Structure formats: structure tokens, C-alpha cells
């Protein structure tokens, strides 16, 4: 969770600078206020750390602690996925190679991008493979990816990891900063909500079932009993940007839409969403019809009132 991550960074800054946590948090909030809130808490924490002369160079960090903009970071993890190297041409026209892998530890997971042919060789020879533990030295964070160039190192290690976090990670983001296909955790207001839309799916393959005569037909499974599903379109606003968002069937109860067969109640519940602030975890996709970015809501959380107090110091 990003908030825990933030807390950990604040704690580290406090320890290294001998300044109490509360004061570090005040400095971070002041920095954010000065920048009109256009910087994330983690980003502001880094600026404050830099101003205090603190860096995390050459310190071994848990994956969750790796933040955009960090340089010279060391970490380790278990390889959860590997992708074959791709050839490309540099701007000068020189041939280059790049390979991606994912590593995970108990706190999080991250995409690692290898730009160095010696590092890539370790993947090609199988010295580093899925399930191996690796140590990374001198990597640089580019957005939420860890990039390794010719001054970085990746090598097999004997470290063992317990249960690693291999699932999707949603990192706290401002809507303004989210890129296509990125997973993000956004705290935003619902500024518009539309009437829920209904459709039917085939219970076997989950694909859309077409209404025909009195029943439903699946392209693959023929006549089927259509299963009623719903989706809800909303517009989110977090103060930096607005974005169209869509929540599908299984996420609707988290938004307070409880009974899909009670239309009247449903429309009242969707009205009640207007102006509500919540935390949305999801992915940004390009809407095929309009070619505009759209936030696919995967899970929703209530804004924790206690957390609010901590964040704003009331």
C-alpha cells in the first residue's frame, strides 16, 4: 500500500536527519502546498529529503520503497516473469537491445528494464530465470520502472523470499500524471455519474450474449441463458485532472450500487455518488470508440477519515 510506503520513507528521512517524524511531515505538506498540490506526497518527501541533504544512494531498499526519480538504488527480488530481448536502433542508428523482467519481494513488485548486453546475456544463458533470486545494484527509477544501464548490475543471489507480492500493484498517482495502461491508485471525487447500463453475457464464456426472440444467443455456445450484467460510467476529478471512468458489474457493490434488479433504488444510489470522494484502484485504457483515455475501476475504497486527519494535520 502506498500510504505505508510513504510512512516508511518519512521514517527513513526522520532517522537520517534526526528530525522528528511530525516535523518531516509538516515540511512535506508545506512543500506540497507551495507547489499547489501538483506533486504527490512521495514526490514532495523526496524533495524534502534532497533539501536536507539526504539521499538513499547505495542503500538497499524494499521494492515498495522504490520511488519515481530515485537513482543509484539497490534492491533484490525474485524473478516472476521474463520477456525475450528486443532489438532496437538508437537515435544515432546503432543497434541496441532491451529486455524486461518483473521482480517481486514481500512488499511489492516492479518491472525491471535491462539496457546492457552483459545483463541481457544472463537472461539468455538462463543464469537468471523465472524463480531465481536476483540482486540489483545501481539502478535508476524511471516513472515506476527500474532501469539498469551499463553502470548498473544484476546478478543471481542466494537470498530467499517468502510469499512475494506478485499481483497488480496500484501506486498512488494524480490523474494528470497517469499514462495509458498504467495501474494507479487515485483519490478523487465523483463529479458525474450516468445511469447504469445493462447487458447480458454467456454464462460459459462470459462473452456478450445477443438477445434473440425470447432468449439469448452466444456466438460460440448457441442458445444460452443470458446472465445480466451492469456497468456504470462516472467522471472522476482529483483536482489535477478529470477523467471518464467505468466500473463493471463486480465493482458496483463497492460503489454502493447493491441491487441490480431494483432500478429505482439503483438510480437513487448512483445519484448519491455525486460529490463523493473515494480511492479508486484501476488502469487507464484508451476508449476504442472515442479514442480518449478511460479509467477502468477495479477496486474502490472508502476514504479513511483517520488517514485524512493525519494527512492534513487537522
Report the interface residues with Zn ion, using CB under 5 A.
Answer: 202, 204-205, 218, 220-221
Between 151 and 248, name the residue whose CB sits nearer to Zn ion. 248
Min dist CB 217 to Zn ion, Å, is 9
| Residues 61, 73 contacting (CB under 8 angstroms) | yes
Between 191 and 217, name the residue whose CB sits nearer to Zn ion. 217
DSSP string, 122-164: HHHTTSS-TT-EEEEEEEEEETTEEEE-TT-EEEE-----SS-
Between 196 and 226, name the residue whose CB sits nearer to Zn ion. 226
- 10 Å CB burial of residue 65 (0-12, 13-18, 19+) is buried
Q: Which residue is nearest to Zn ion (CB)?
A: 202
Between 93 and 222, name the residue whose CB sits nearer to Zn ion. 222
Min dist CB 206 to Zn ion, Å, is 7
Min dist CB 253 to Zn ion, Å, is 25
Min dist CB 216 to Zn ion, Å, is 10
Between 227 and 237, name the residue whose CB sits nearer to Zn ion. 227
Between 120 and 218, name the residue whose CB sits nearer to Zn ion. 218
Min dist CB 222 to Zn ion, Å, is 8
Min dist CB 175 to Zn ion, Å, is 36
Which residues have CB under 8 Å from 7's CB, separation 6+? none
| Residues 144, 110 contacting (CB under 8 angstroms) | yes
Give the three cell numbers for residue 158: 542466494
CA-CA distance, 43 to 39, in Å (whole number)?
6
Sort strands 145-148 and 133-142 into parallel, antiparallel or unpaired: antiparallel
| Alpha carbon 45 to its chain's center | 19
Amino acid at each position: 500500500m502506498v500510504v505505508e510506503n510513504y510512512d516508511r520513507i518519512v521514517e527513513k528521512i526522520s532517522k537520517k536527519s534526526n528530525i522528528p517524524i511530525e516535523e518531516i511531515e509538516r515540511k512535506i505538506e508545506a512543500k506540497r502546498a507551495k507547489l499547489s498540490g501538483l506533486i504527490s506526497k512521495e514526490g514532495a518527501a523526496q524533495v524534502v529529503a534532497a533539501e536536507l541533504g539526504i539521499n538513499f544512494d547505495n542503500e538497499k531498499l524494499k521494492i515498495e520503497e522504490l520511488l519515481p526519480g530515485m537513482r543509484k538504488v539497490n534492491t533484490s527480488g525474485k524473478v516472476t516473469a521474463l520477456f525475450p530481448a528486443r532489438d532496437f536502433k538508437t537515435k544515432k542508428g546503432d543497434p541496441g537491445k532491451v529486455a524486461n523482467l518483473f521482480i517481486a519481494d514481500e512488499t511489492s513488485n516492479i518491472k525491471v528494464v535491462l539496457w546492457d548486453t552483459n545483463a541481457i546475456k544472463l537472461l539468455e544463458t538462463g543464469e537468471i530465470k523465472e524463480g531465481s533470486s536476483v540482486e540489483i545494484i545501481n539502478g535508476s527509477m524511471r516513472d515506476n520502472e527500474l532501469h539498469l544501464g551499463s553502470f548498473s548490475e544484476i546478478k543471481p543471489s542466494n537470498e530467499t523470499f517468502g510469499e512475494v507480492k506478485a499481483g497488480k500493484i496500484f501506486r498512488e498517482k494524480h490523474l494528470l500524471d497517469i499514462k495509458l495502461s498504467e495501474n494507479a491508485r487515485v483519490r478523487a471525487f465523483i463529479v458525474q455519474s450516468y445511469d447504469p447500463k445493462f447487458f447480458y453475457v454467456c454464462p460459459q464464456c462470459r462473452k456478450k450474449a445477443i438477445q434473440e426472440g425470447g432468449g439469448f444467443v452466444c456466438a460460440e455456445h448457441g442458445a444460452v441463458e443470458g446472465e445480466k450484467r451492469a456497468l456504470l460510467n462516472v467522471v472522476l476529478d482529483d483536482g489535477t485532472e478529470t477523467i471518464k471512468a467505468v466500473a463493471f458489474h463486480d465493482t458496483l457493490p463497492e460503489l454502493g450500487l447493491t441491487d441490480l434488479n431494483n432500478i429505482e433504488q439503483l438510480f437513487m444510489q448512483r445519484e448519491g455518488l455525486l460529490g463523493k470522494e473515494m480511492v479508486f484502484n484501476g488502469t487507464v485504457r484508451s476508449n476504442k470508440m472515442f479514442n480518449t483515455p478511460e479509467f477502468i475501476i477495479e477496486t474502490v475504497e472508502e476514504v479513511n477519515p483517520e488517514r485524512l486527519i493525519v494527512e492534513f494535520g487537522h
